[in-house]
Amino acid sequence: MRVLVTGAASGIGRATVLRLARDAQARGTKAMVAAVDIGPSPGLDGVIEESRKLGADALPLHGDLAAAEVPARVVDEAVRRFGGLDGLVSNAGLNRPGALMTYDVRDWDHIFAVNTRATWLLAKAAHPALKAARGAIVATGSMSGSNPHANLGAYGPSKAAVIMLVQVLAQEMAPDGIRVNAVSPGMVRTGMTEPVYRDARLAAERDALVPVGRVATPEDIADVIAFLLGPDARYVNGHDLVVDGGVSGNFLGRLPGINSIPRG
């Protein structure tokens, strides 16, 4: 499988690259993975080295996806190296929290450029190769794209836009044999959120909020991305698959005193 993964140096992107490499190795084939991140880093070097040890043809690519020309460039480099593409994982994202009444328009535009516009431009650039391969696209959304959260600034709106963008792309690209889906994680222990989990009390409180009893690892999300890219998801299109352990549906279960209400 020939796949381009953005935000590949850490977290969900890194776990996805390694999952694809392991799956190909188990099938006796070679994964061809373009691992994209904003620039050279020990994290990107590490995932390239690990995936190559798993037999993958791993291509490191650099570029700031906030720049409008970068998505097409990295797609072109991957297609030239691999002779095509079977999958695209638009995973790169960032968050700059803040109250909307005091939010800076530059932060708003930057968040939307990386979290939302890049997914559109990547899909647009990859369309010819994915059409030829009858491939698939997976974009990383968020439970924050479906559930409002104060003081997240542009993050929640940008992820809501990603989810709708995926649904529109799915309608437009399906006639060309391309499936497009989103994965919306709940709480995940990534590099961006790790400072929270260094506090053992906060980590335990977060685990307790999740019905399955723990916050997700990047591998929990990567496994679902691999499924959506693969043949077992051949009839899944335009879907936002929430992968949150049930936390976003557990509002009523967290109401104080809910278990003390007398039976009628």
Please compute the mean of the pLDDT values over residues 195-203 and round it to a whole number.
Answer: 89
**197 is annotated as an active-site residue:** no
| 264 found inside a domain | no
How high does pLDDT run on average in the chain? Answer: 95
Which of 60-74, 135-149, 183-197, 250-264 shows the lowest mean pLDDT across its residues? 250-264
Q: How far is CA 237 from CA 2, 64, 165, in A?
A: 20, 28, 13
How far is it, in rounded angstroms, from Cα 3 to Cα 86? 6
The pTM of the full predicted model, rounded to 2 decimals, is 0.94
| 253 found inside a domain | no
Residue 192 pLDDT exceeds 80: no
Q: Are 96 and 111 in contact (CB under 8 A)?
A: yes
| 211 found inside a domain | yes
Q: Which of 103, 155, 197, 235 is catalytic?
A: 155
pLDDT in tens, 32-79: 999 999 999 999 999 999 999 999 999 999 999 999 999 999 999 999
Q: Which tokens belong to 180?
A: 């497009």
* Residue 117 confidence (pLDDT): 98
Q: Is the backbone of residue 258 left (phi > 0), alpha (psi -120 to 50) or beta?
A: alpha
Block residue for tokens 């460039």: 73
How far is it, in rounded angstroms, from Cα 8 to Cα 11? 8
* Residue 253 confidence (pLDDT): 76
* Residue 262 confidence (pLDDT): 65
pLDDT in tens, 113-145: 999 999 999 999 999 999 999 999 999 999 999
What is the residue range of 76's domain?
Answer: 2-245
| 258 found inside a domain | no
CATH code for position 166: 3.40.50.720
Q: Which tokens belong to 239?
A: 């879907």
Q: Domain count of the chain? A: 1
* Residue 3 confidence (pLDDT): 98
| Amino acid making up residue 56 | A
From the CB of residue 174, how many other CB atoms can be counted at a distance below 10 Å? 13
Please compute the mean of the pLDDT values over residues 106-116 and round it to a whole number.
Answer: 98
| 6 found inside a domain | yes
| 252 found inside a domain | no
